[in-house]
């Protein structure tokens, strides 16, 4: 069946091509005849004027060749068709003629005219040229005879209004201007020309095989010396084409068309089935990938929920622990004020202070891990940090293990905290060392940069397209199976023996990476070692240049200003009172909001500054500050908290609190913060101890300094420069 469809399609295509070629040739010949008629009549020079001879159109056709082209004649008839404003056909009785003339106005069809001109004998039927015409008024159109068979090729029927019937065989459907018809008795075909008309919608609606009756002017053209003339009927309007009957239900053309359409429909159906099958496979693959991605996201969500729960617990523990550390550090620094350097207890107090500061760093790490604590990040080059981490690992890892580094000198910097980067690298390095314990191997630290495209980000949902710095630590240890890899970042999860690990190392690493808007990937197989890759977004600004050292400033003292201190911890109130009094301030301390409100309400102008803890029983510190400022709008306020968050900083700034101190705080940091708030400008300066900082990074000696201050720019050891 497919073979029959292709054969029929080929036959139809060949037949259509031949008919189209023949149709185009006949059209060109017709147009050429009309053009030659115009050119011949226009190019000849008219003879000398002479007295015209009055003739009928039939007499003119019979005697034109005997008269010659130099004899003027005068004819009269009715206009049956007008091609343009220069040419028209006239008919009288059973004879018609074609005339070339340019009147003052075009003649209407049905108007009777008188034409004077010269014969033109270059065509099958004589015509008139160099005419002068005038209107004789309205006339009556002749009744067109119905021509059949060879009558359509008779010169006696040319140039007159006729009717003809035929079956439509060809149609220029795009223009609707030309039709080809075949007579039912098998006589030669004839054409219908509508070039002088606008687009004829009736012609475009006709189907091949329809029986038509056409009324128009018959024109004969010569197709060769021995060939019979070809007939063309010039239709005047769409009304001249009358549909007698539609095409037959079945004919060869309809069968061919049906076969072609069937073949096309079958081909389209097969193509649709193939496309549908391909689309089903593609959709199935997309669904599978989406399911895998959703499974991975669900796993990450569960991990995040676990970390969030642990973070909430860590935040609560850190608050209480900071209160204890604040009391310890405060009392140690007060004791140091009473001891000289040669006192036997001085060195012990210094060591207690250092231990307290290290404990403060531990709390800071817990808060960072819990994502409750922000960090003071800066644009940092990672190359020195990797080298420093390698030195630290070399100091704690036995020499039987080899440590190598692969550092890209052109890796761009990142926005980070150097202490967190060191903590990240050391924790990952120690984890790799423990994985190789018992069988010496190689530990490799590498630094490189990558350009993450959409394909890379699809396998790393936490990343967006861009450039990243990649910190990777690989080992030759025992490796991990799939179930272990899924749980390695869970807090307190460990595969080590009891007493050899807490399970917090990788959890802290995970918290640091998330705090940097990065991601960490693990590749590991049992017996094949492990590779931990950390991706951190690169910074858009250059590395900050270190500031030149300046001489350490002295801790500022007060001038007797009165400070209202509110804290629910009795030990902290005692430490803060003694510390501020040592720096020259008057202090009134309260443990409850109601007591502080009563004291302030009695005399609002009595106090120069209020210092309150954020977490208090009943109300929060910001609520107390708001109530106090309703009584005195210009009151400076200092907020202290053991667990500062981004939300707390935003709320404090909205309430007008410009200084938020992270517990525990040293004596000189507290003195600097109070001095800045009570400065003559009335606006807190960028703090060396508190403002805009929720914790204080340390220098290499372990003494913690205000963020944004160069280690060399602050004295070590608090009040004594120890």
For 514-532, the pLDDT digits (tens) are 888 888 888 888 878 889 9
Look at residue 164 and tell me if it is in a domain. Answer: yes
Tokens 């707390």 locate to: 648
Query: Based on the domain organization, do 395 and 506 belong to the same domain?
Result: yes
What span, in angstroms and rounded, lies between the C-alpha atoms of 99 and 57?
12
Instruction: Give residue 465's pLDDT band: very low, low, confident or very high (50, 70, 90).
Output: confident
Mean of the per-residue pLDDT values of the chain: 76
Q: State residue 375's pLDDT score.
A: 58
Tokens 């917090």 locate to: 504
What span, in angstroms and rounded, lies between the C-alpha atoms of 216 and 141?
12
Q: What's the CATH code of the domain at 674?
A: 3.40.50.2300
Tokens 């023996």 locate to: 497
Query: Based on the domain organization, do 41 and 21 belong to the same domain?
Result: yes
What span, in angstroms and rounded, lies between the C-alpha atoms of 77 and 84?
18
Look at residue 618 and tell me if it is in a domain. Answer: yes
Q: State residue 352's pLDDT score.
A: 84
* CA proximity to 491, closest of 310, 619, 364: 310
The model's pLDDT over 276-303, given as tens digits with 9 standing for 90+, comes to 999 999 999 989 888 888 887 777 677 6
Q: Domain containing 73: what range?
A: 2-138
Instruction: Give residue 38's pLDDT band: very low, low, confident or very high (50, 70, 90).
Output: low
What span, in angstroms and rounded, lies between the C-alpha atoms of 396 and 456?
36
Of 138, 156, 179, the residue at which a domain comes to its end is 138
Mean pLDDT computed over 96-108: 82
What span, in angstroms and rounded, lies between the C-alpha atoms of 512 and 60?
113
Look at residue 270 and tell me if it is in a domain. Answer: no
Q: State residue 37's pLDDT score.
A: 53
Look at residue 664 and tell me if it is in a domain. Answer: yes
Q: Which residue has the higher pLDDT, 23 or 307?
A: 307
Is residue 708 scored above 50 in pLDDT? no
Instruction: Give residue 267's pLDDT band: very low, low, confident or very high (50, 70, 90).
Output: very high
Q: Which of 244-253, 421-430, 563-572 has the lowest mean pLDDT?
A: 244-253
What span, in angstroms and rounded, lies between the C-alpha atoms of 336 and 330?
10
Query: Based on the domain organization, do 387 and 532 belong to the same domain?
Result: yes
Strand, coil or helix: what is 717? coil
Query: Based on the domain organization, do 47 and 13 belong to the same domain?
Result: yes
Strand, coil or helix: what is 523? strand
Q: What's the CATH code of the domain at 79?
A: 2.40.50.200
Look at residue 169 and tell me if it is in a domain. Answer: yes
Query: Based on the domain organization, do 601 and 628 belong to the same domain?
Result: yes
Of 121, 138, 155, the residue at which a domain comes to its end is 138
Q: State residue 196's pLDDT score.
A: 52
Is residue 48 scored above 90 in pLDDT? no
The model's pLDDT over 388-399, given as tens digits with 9 standing for 90+, comes to 888 888 877 887
Look at residue 295 and tell me if it is in a domain. Answer: no
Q: What's the CATH code of the domain at 450?
A: 3.30.565.10
Is residue 682 scored above 90 in pLDDT? no
Q: What is the pTM of this model?
A: 0.40
What span, in angstroms and rounded, lies between the C-alpha atoms of 40 and 384?
100
Query: Based on the domain organization, do 423 and 518 belong to the same domain?
Result: yes
The three-point CA angle 613-616-618 to 5° equals 150
What span, in angstroms and rounded, lies between the C-alpha atoms of 271 and 274?
5
What span, in angstroms and rounded, lies between the C-alpha atoms of 595 and 610?
13
| Cβ atoms 445, 473 nearer than 8 A | yes
Look at residue 59 and tell me if it is in a domain. Answer: yes
Question: By percentage, how much of the chain surpasses pLDDT 70?
Answer: 74
**Phi, psi (5° rounding) for residue 214?**
-115, 135
Q: What's the CATH code of the domain at 174?
A: 2.40.50.140
Query: Based on the domain organization, do 133 and 206 belong to the same domain?
Result: no
Query: Based on the domain organization, do 646 and 683 belong to the same domain?
Result: yes
Look at residue 246 and tell me if it is in a domain. Answer: yes
Neighbour order of strands in the sheet with 586-590: 586-590, 562-566, 609-613, 637-641, 659-662
User: What's the total number of domains in the chain?
Assistant: 4
Q: If you average pLDDT over each of 145-154, 249-258, 673-682, 703-712, which comes out highest? A: 145-154
Strand, coil or helix: what is 396? helix
Contacts of residue 529, Cβ cutoff 8 Å, sequence gap at least 6: 435, 441, 474, 475, 476, 477, 479
Instruction: Give residue 549's pLDDT band: very low, low, confident or very high (50, 70, 90).
Output: very low
Query: Based on the domain organization, do 467 and 413 belong to the same domain?
Result: yes
Query: Based on the domain organization, do 125 and 163 belong to the same domain?
Result: no
Query: Based on the domain organization, do 525 and 386 belong to the same domain?
Result: yes
Query: Based on the domain organization, do 577 and 637 belong to the same domain?
Result: yes
Q: Which of 361-375, 506-520, 597-611 has the lowest mean pLDDT?
A: 361-375
Of 252, 284, 317, the residue at which a domain comes to its end is 252
* CA proximity to 181, closest of 239, 248, 228, 243: 243
Mean pLDDT computed over 493-514: 68
């Amino acid at each position: 069946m497919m073979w029959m469809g292709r054969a029929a399609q080929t036959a139809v295509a060949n037949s259509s091509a031949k008919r189209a070629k023949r149709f185009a040739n006949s059209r060109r010949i017709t147009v050429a005849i009309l053009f030659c008629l115009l050119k011949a009549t226009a190019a000849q020079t008219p003879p000398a004027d002479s007295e015209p001879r009055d003739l009928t159109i039939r007499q003119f056709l019979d005697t034109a060749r005997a008269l010659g082209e130099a004899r003027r004649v005068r004819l009269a008839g009715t206009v049956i068709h007008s091609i343009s404003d220069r040419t028209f056909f006239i008919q009288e009785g059973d004879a018609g003629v074609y005339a070339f003339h340019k009147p003052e106005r075009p003649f209407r069809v049905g108007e009777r005219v008188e034409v004077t001109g010269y014969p033109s004998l270059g065509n099958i039927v004589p015509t008139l040229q160099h005419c002068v015409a005038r209107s004789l008024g309205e006339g009556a159109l002749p009744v067109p005879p119905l021509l059949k068979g060879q009558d359509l090729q008779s010169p006696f029927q040319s140039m007159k209004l006729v009717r003809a019937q035929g079956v439509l065989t060809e149609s220029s459907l795009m223009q609707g201007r030309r039709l080809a018809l075949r007579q039912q008795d098998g006589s030669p075909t004839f054409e219908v020309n509508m070039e002088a008309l606008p687009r004829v919608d009736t012609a475009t609606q006709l189907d091949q095989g329809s029986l038509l009756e056409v009324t128009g002017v018959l024109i004969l053209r010569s197709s060769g010396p021995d060939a019979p003339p070809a007939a063309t009927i010039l239709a005047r309007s769409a009304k001249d084409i009358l549909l007698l009957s539609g095409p037959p239900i079945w004919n060869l053309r309809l069968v061919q068309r049906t076969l072609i359409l069937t073949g096309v429909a079958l081909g389209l159906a097969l193509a649709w089935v193939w496309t549908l099958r391909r689309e089903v496979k593609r959709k199935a693959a997309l669904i599978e990938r989406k399911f895998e991605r959703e499974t991975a996201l669900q796993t990450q969500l569960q991990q995040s929920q676990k970390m969030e729960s642990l973070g909430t617990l860590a935040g609560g523990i850190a608050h209480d622990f900071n209160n204890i550390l604040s009391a310890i550090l405060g009392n140690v620094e007060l004791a140091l004020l009473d001891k000289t350097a040669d006192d036997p207890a001085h060195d012990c107090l210094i060591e207690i202070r250092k231990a307290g500061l290290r404990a403060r760093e531990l709390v800071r790490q817990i808060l960072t891990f819990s994502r409750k604590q922000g960090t003071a990040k800066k644009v940092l080059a990672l190359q020195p940090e990797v080298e420093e981490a390698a030195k630290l690992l070399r100091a704690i890892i036995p020499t039987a293990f080899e440590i190598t580094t692969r550092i890209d000198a052109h890796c761009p910097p990142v926005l980070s905290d150097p202490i967190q980067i060191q903590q990240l690298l050391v924790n990952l390095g120690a984890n790799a060392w423990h994985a190789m314990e018992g069988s010496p191997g190689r530990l490799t630290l590498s630094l490189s940069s990558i350009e993450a495209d959409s394909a890379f980000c699809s396998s790393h949902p936490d990343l967006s397209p861009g450039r990243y710095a990649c910190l990777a630590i690989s080992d030759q240890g025992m490796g991990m199976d799939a179930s272990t890899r899924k749980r390695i970042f869970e807090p307190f999860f460990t595969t080590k023996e009891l007493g050899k690990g807490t399970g917090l190392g990788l959890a802290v690493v995970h918290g640091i990476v998330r705090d940097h808007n990065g991601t960490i990937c693990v590749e590991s197989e049992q017996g094949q070692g492990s590779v931990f890759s950390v991706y951190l977004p690169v910074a858009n600004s250059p590395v900050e240049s270190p500031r030149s050292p300046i001489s350490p400033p002295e801790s500022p003292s007060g001038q007797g200003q009165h400070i209202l201190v509110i804290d629910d911890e009795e030990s902290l109130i005692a430490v803060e009172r003694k510390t501020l009094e040592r720096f020259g301030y008057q202090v009134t301390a309260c443990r409850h909001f109601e007591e502080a409100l009563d004291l302030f309400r009695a005399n609002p102008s009595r106090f120069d500054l209020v210092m309150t803890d954020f977490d208090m029983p009943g109300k929060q510190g910001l609520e107390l500050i708001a109530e106090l400022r309703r009584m005195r709008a210009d009151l400076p306020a200092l907020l202290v908290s053991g667990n500062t968050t981004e939300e707390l900083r935003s709320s404090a700034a909205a309430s007008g609190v410009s200084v938020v101190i992270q517990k525990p705080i040293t004596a000189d940091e507290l003195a600097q913060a109070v001095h800045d708030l009570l400065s003559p400008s009335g606006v807190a300066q960028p703090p060396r101890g508190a403002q805009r900082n929720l914790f204080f990074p340390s220098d290499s000696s372990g003494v913690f300094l205000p963020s944004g201050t160069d280690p060399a720019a602050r004295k070590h050891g608090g009040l004594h420069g120890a």
